[in-house]
Amino acid sequence: MAEALLALAGVNTHIGQYHILQGVDFEVPRAGLTMLLGRNGAGKTTTLRTVMGLWQASAGAIRYDGAEITRRTTPERARLGIAYVPENMGIFAGLTVRENLLLAARSGPPEDRRLEWIFRLFPAMQKFWHAHAGNLSGGQKQMLAIARAIVEPRRLLLVDEPTKGLAPSIIANMIEAFRELKRTETSLLVVEQNFHFARSVGDTVAVMDCGRIVHAGRMADLAADDSLQQKLLGLSLQAHQ
Amino acid sequence: MLTTLLSGDLPRSRVLAVVLLAILAGLVLAPFVFPGTRSLNVAAKVAVFVLLVASYDLLLGYTGIVSFAHTMFFGIGGYGVGIAMAKLGAGWVSLALGIALALSLSAALALAIGLLSLRVRAIFFAMITLAVASFFQILASQLSGFTGGEDGITYKLPDLLLPGTKLVEMPLLGVELNGRLASYYLVVLAALACFLALLRVVNSPFGRVLLSIRENEFRSEALGYRTVTYRTAANCIGALGATLAGVLYAIWLRYTGPDTTLSFNIMIDILLMVVIGGMGTMYGAAVGATIFVVAQNYLQDLMALASAAAKGVPLLPGLLHPDRWLLWLGVLFIVCVYYFPTGIVGKLRAK
């Protein structure tokens, strides 16, 4: 089997005096969507931020596309093809939708076909093209954040809780959008609390607890195993639905 | 054509468009509409300060950099021209040499300050620029053999730019076409060209990255931009703009001294002009600089008239006495900041 696109080996991350990641090992394959699940405070967001270089790993190695990137700066990692959609969406509220998207297109204005594809995924982007991003609704901001990450083809997309605070109908849209994204060449690593969403789009899954990976496998297997869910996540599918 | 000239950044407000046109027309027609030494001085100062404030807006309004070294770069431009003219003689070559040296020094200093200190937090950067600017002020006053110390330097310019030079024998509309007029139009046109160039910079992809840095530096980095590089570049462009403004002011005044270039009072004036006009709009620089410079020069006259008119009314004549002009300027600022927190241009565009 080919080497994984992203591989973390024994990654430790300290934030100030707190030891958050305590030896994280897992891989993101070269295709499909990997879900990163776990309770609040398990270290999911820290893992994404460490991959992006927004926190520096204090030990361990991060390999991406065959090269070690543990000591690379954030802009360098972004230029290697990693895009990050943070939990608070990370859009520039004072800039327009258009400016937000153009900023992410580092190699010149995006192609029309790409934009049309994005508009098909998220029609609101076309409608509010010249609106200030800060005036968008929560769901639209999330769509903008994702649209911005894919305005140019990227190899790896890190998304932190894309369904947080969204209405069920919007979540359905998001599921469609992520399914469409999976058809592209982009691999995704998505942190999520919403198990229904995770089950709908995830191919593989890693579950974190207390700064470590405690389970890794196929999403379908976890989704089918109530007792494993109960053990890992403290929830059952019935209770969640 | 107009859209290209303004880099696609149109005023987007009818009132603002009218105000900007009025400022432009006022500057271009000033020698004919408002003849007289004083009004021409005010007009030239407006032109210089539009450029100076616009270049500061690139830092403060677009990139979110608080720098107190802007008058230093202004001064480098002024002293570059002054020293070259005084020491090398009043020729075009020495003028060009002075300008080139001033621009190089400014660029090198801005680069050094940027690379060394734009990594640190905003407040420390502001303090470092303050220290460097004070150092420069002291240097200018101590190197009196070169700079004329506190007295500054007076010098001649190439003949074409001297008041004694008549360009055309016949006066036009009662105004003598002399070298003074030539240097006035040099100042106005050069300031306008630089302003348009800055407008181009902020509306380019580069300018968009600067805006994103102002909004959130980390997000900008996560998109793949090395923010230190961009901020340093912005710092250099801003410094070059200020240097050119200093050059133009020196050409206009035929004098360079600490009070006209390096003074900390000018730094405060620049800050006020940016805030009053509207940060991050470029046009705000034009509006703010015009209002401020005109008020600085004519508020006292206006108050003398008002004071005389209010004679007999208790208290009023005293309040309106011309010596109290700073009080009213202060009131004007408070009102501005209170009612137009986004500046005049921000307010006009919001409608």
Is A241's pLDDT higher than 50?
A: no
Q: Shortest Cα distance from B156 to chain A (angstroms)?
A: 48
Q: What is the pLDDT of residue A235?
A: 58
pTM: 0.87
**Does B216 sit within 8 Å of A75, measured CB to CB?**
no
Kindly identify which residue of chain A lies nearest to residue B209, measuring between CA atoms: A103
**Of A78, A95, A106, Cβ closest to residue B211:** A95
Residues A200-236 pLDDT 10s: 999 999 999 889 999 999 988 888 888 888 888 875 4
Residue B336 lies in a domain: no
Residue B97 lies in a domain: yes
Q: Which domain holds residue B218?
A: 36-163+172-264
How many angstroms separate the Cα of A233 from the Cα of each of A9, A75, A193, A236, B53? 23, 34, 10, 8, 58
Nearest 10 degrees: CA dihedral of A168, A171, A173, A175? -130
**CB neighbour list of residue B329: distance below 8 Å, 6 or more residues apart:** B295, B296, B299
Q: What is the pLDDT of residue B90?
A: 83
- Closest to B72 in 3D by CA, of B115, B122, B134: B134
Determine the Cα–Cα distance for residues A229 and A224; give it in Å rounded to an integer.
9
Q: Shortest Cα distance from A15 to chain B (angstroms)?
A: 16
Determine the Cα–Cα distance for residues A165 and B111; give it in Å rounded to an integer.
45
Distance of CA B104 to the CA centre of its chain: 19
Strand ranges of the sheet holding A6-15, from the earlier edge strand across to the other edge: A18-28, A6-15, A57-64, A67-68
Q: Shortest Cα distance from A115 to chain B (angstroms)?
A: 18
* Position B118 confidence tier, pLDDT thresholds 50, 70, 90: low
Share of chain B above pLDDT 70, in %: 99
**Does A78 sit within 8 Å of B224, measured CB to CB?**
yes
Nearest 10 degrees: CA dihedral of B77, B80, B86, B91? -90
* Chain B CB contacts of A78 below 8 Å: 221-224
Determine the Cα–Cα distance for residues A77 and B303; give it in Å rounded to an integer.
62
* Chain B CB contacts of A75 below 8 Å: 221, 224-227
Residue B40 lies in a domain: yes
Tokens read off for B42:
């005010």
**Residues B129 and B113 sit within 8 Å (Cβ to Cβ):** yes
Residue B258 lies in a domain: yes
- The CA R_g of chain A, rounded to the nearest whole Å, is 17
How many angstroms separate the Cα of A16 from the Cα of each of A11, A19, A32, A72? 16, 8, 34, 20
Q: Report the mean per-residue pLDDT for chain B.
A: 89
Q: Shortest Cα distance from A56 to chain B (angstroms)?
A: 14
Helix (H/G/I), strand (E/B), else coil: B261: coil
Determine the Cα–Cα distance for residues A189 and B195; give it in Å rounded to an integer.
46
Kindly identify which residue of chain B lies nearest to residue A48, measuring between CA atoms: B222
- Hey, where are the domains in chain A? 92-153
* Chain B CB contacts of A106 below 8 Å: 223-225
Burial A49-85 (b: 16+ CB within 10 A, else e): bbbbbbbebeebebbbbeeebbebebbebbebbbbbb
* Chain B CB contacts of A74 below 8 Å: 218, 221-222
Residues B131-154 pLDDT 10s: 999 999 999 999 988 888 888 899
C-alpha atoms less than 13 angstroms from C-alpha of A112 in its C-beta half-sphere: 0
Q: What is the pLDDT of residue A167?
A: 86
**Of B216, B221, B225, Cβ closest to residue A92:** B216
> Could you give the number of structural domains in chain B?
1
Please, where are the H alpha helices in chain B? 2-5, 14-33, 37-57, 70-88, 92-117, 122-142, 144-147, 179-202, 205-215, 217-222, 227-253, 264-277, 283-309, 316-319, 325-339, 343-350
**Does B212 sit within 8 Å of A95, measured CB to CB?**
yes
Residues A97-144 pLDDT 10s: 999 999 998 888 888 889 999 998 898 899 999 999 999 988 899 999
**CB neighbour list of residue A109: distance below 8 Å, 6 or more residues apart:** A102
Cβ neighbours of B339 (radius 10 Å): 9
